[in-house]
Amino acid sequence: ERNRIYEEICKAKIGSEYFEEKMVQTFCGAAKTKEVQCESITMAEKGMMVTSWDLDNSLPASGAEPAETEEPKTPAGKSSKSPTAAEHSQAVAAPSATAWNFCNSTSSMTIAESAAPARSHEEQECHSRAILTSAKLQQDLVVMERILMENIFQPKLAVYRQIPVLIEPVVTSDTEVEEDEEDEDEEEKDEEEQEETADPDQSPAEGAGPRLEQLWSYRCDLTRAHSVSSMAWNRVNPDLLAVGYREFVSRDQKKGLACCWSLKNPMWPERIFRCEHGVTAVDFSLASPNLLAVGMANGRVAIYDVRSREDAALLDSSASLNKHKGPVWQLRWVEQDRGPTAGDKEERLMCISGDGRMTQWFIQQRLDCSDVMKFKRTESGKKNLPGERERKSEGPISQQAAGMCFDFHPEDTDVFLAGTEEGHIYCCSCSGKEQILGTYRGHKGPVYKVTWNPSSTEMFLSCSADWSILLWHRDCHTPLLTFTSVTAFVHDIKWAPKSALVFAAVNEKRVEIWDLSVSIFHPVLSCAASPEGNLSSLLFARNAECLLLGDSCGQVGVWQLHSLAVPSTDQVGLCSFP
């Protein structure tokens, strides 16, 4: 249309005196290159294997069947076996035999030709399978996995190990560098203005208390819908963590897990031990760091070798005649004196169970145990005076009290504390005629955890289902202090490893940090650390300022403690007096 209009304009100007037709030369523009990316052409290979019987069966399918021979009709009264009919039948049979022989030869040739590709395909599959199952490839995959995990979690792991975080250099132009310098100058001016407008009487540290920052979580699809029941660090390798999982749905006990997690891979456990019942307690051995003891909800005690990738237990208490009849709520490897010689110690596995017994297990050709203590329910007609020891006239009844927890004295391993379901705490001795050294009554519900103070060894803490935490002295049978902040079960407590006045506790929804040098009425930190589920257990890191929290959703969160003050030596000395 545009060309047509142009031609009409040119025809209209032919008669004009201002119009003259001449030839001119136009300059060509510079050549331009434009790259266009199209979708990649996808190619697919399809193949099919044909066997000899497929060729044979294809004849009836195609309808090319050989014609059947028919005898010629003869008139009535004449014999059908005439020479002409016999010759005709022989003539027809000869081509059929020839065709059958040709088909057999073709089938044999097809088999011979298809055998070679089949063999080569099988050899390729065997070669690929050998590569995938080789130990060298497995080791290389582990190295690649470690590198990927290091790239993903390097900043968090650096904070955990208290080392500088690696920052990749950013290549910038000169203009960007000038802009960054201008931004830094503006930020410095703003900070100076804020300092000038701030109140000079206010201390800079005022209002800055301890806080928690989550670094990562140990969790995977395998641990989902399980509850974390217990955690334990390896005694030699501080980066190896054992976690026990159990699952209770509609009061039915389901299978449990015991997993070994490493800092090198927070996304999948290094070892997975599947158990028939829920795992209630785990602990690593000190004499043999590769041995992991596992207690279960059905009373079974098993020992696994973490160096092996097999799921089977190394030793099991199923064949023991003295095995527990109730859940093993806690177990621990304890070093005790083997004889009168000083320094001659032997490691023993101690367990406390819901059947009212505390046992020690011997590792021989099989796993067997002997009773250390049996807890009986007691009824007291007369209340004891404050500070008075338990009267020996109180007679135990036949029903046994379920044991819930225990803790050995940090200096004297013959003395231990044991908490029971009825709310009593017993101070017991492994040696001597008098096993019960004292009874501490103060809780109105089951005692979930009891722990000695690692620095001031005459003090200990206990927590219970009665929503309270009690501070005790060994020589005083009434609690010194009672800590209650929320109306919820207190499932676990732990003393801070570097302070005799700081401890942590977890209830249904929150984790609390108490500092007795600051306040005995309120925790210095109370944080909802598990929005998805309820908190069930806690553990301090051995070589970092971090706290591990396990919940009912199967995850173990690693949280860093910030601004947690360590009390002075004088404050720690005051803690040793009731």
Contact between 294 and 304 (Cβ < 8 Å): yes
Provide the residue count of the chain: 578
Q: What distance in Å separates the CA atoms of residue 337 and residue 343, rounded to the nearest whole number?
A: 7
Question: In the CATH scheme, what is the code of domain 488-564?
Answer: 2.40.10
Q: What is the per-residue DSSP string for 354-380?
A: TTSEEEEEEESSSEEEEEEEE-EEE--
Residue recorded with tokens 């007691």: 378
Predicted pLDDT at 176: 61
Predicted pLDDT at 180: 65
Q: The sheet that has 556-562: what strands, in order across it?
A: 211-218, 556-562, 546-551, 535-540
Q: Determine the 3-state secondary structure of 149 from DSSP.
A: helix
Q: Where are the alpha helices (DSSP H) in 133-167?
A: 135-161
How far are the Cα atoms of 67, 69, 102, 119 from residue 90, in angstroms, in the given order? 14, 10, 19, 44
Give the other-Cβ count within 10 Å of 521's Cβ.
Answer: 10
Q: What distance in Å separates the CA atoms of residue 338 and residue 413, rounded to the nearest whole number?
A: 12
Q: How far is CA 99 from the centre of its chain?
A: 70
Predicted pLDDT at 310: 87
Domain ranges of the chain: 488-564
- pTM exceeds 0.85 for this model: no
Predicted pLDDT at 55: 74
Contact between 512 and 561 (Cβ < 8 Å): no
List pLDDT tens digits, range 330-370. Answer: 999 998 876 655 566 788 899 999 999 999 998 888 888 88
Residues linked to residue 362 through DSSP beta bridges, in sequence order? 368
- Which residue positions in the chain have pLDDT lower than 50? 64-112, 197-207, 250, 381-383, 385, 391-398, 568-578
Predicted pLDDT at 228: 94
How far are the Cα atoms of 98, 278, 401, 421, 479 from residue 379, in angstroms, in the given order? 107, 33, 12, 14, 21
Close Cβ partners of 30 (under 8 Å, ≥ 6 residues apart):
none
- State the amino acid at position 47 in one-letter form: G
Rg (CA), the chain: 42
Predicted pLDDT at 559: 94
Close Cβ partners of 211 (under 8 Å, ≥ 6 residues apart):
525, 527, 561, 562, 563
Q: Which two tokens stand for residue 497?
A: 């490893």
- State the amino acid at position 437 in one-letter form: L
User: Angle 52-62/83-132 helices, nearest 10 degrees?
Assistant: 130
As a dihedral over the C-alpha atoms of residue 65, residue 66, residue 67, residue 71, rounded to 10 degrees, the angle is: -140
Q: Determine the Cα angle at 317 with ends 239 and 361, to 5°.
A: 70
List pLDDT tens digits, range 121-145. Answer: 788 888 888 888 888 898 899 899 9
Q: Which two tokens stand for residue 442?
A: 């103060």
Predicted pLDDT at 71: 45
Q: What distance in Å separates the CA atoms of residue 205 and residue 164, rounded to the nearest whole number?
A: 25
In the DSSP assignment, the letter for residue 222 is G
Q: What distance in Å separates the CA atoms of residue 4 and residue 8, rounded to the nearest whole number?
A: 6
* Backbone φ and ψ of 513, nearest 5°: -115, 120
How far are the Cα atoms of 63, 295, 338, 560 from residue 494, in angstroms, in the given order? 86, 21, 29, 16
Q: What distance in Å separates the CA atoms of residue 292 and residue 353, rounded to the nearest whole number?
A: 18
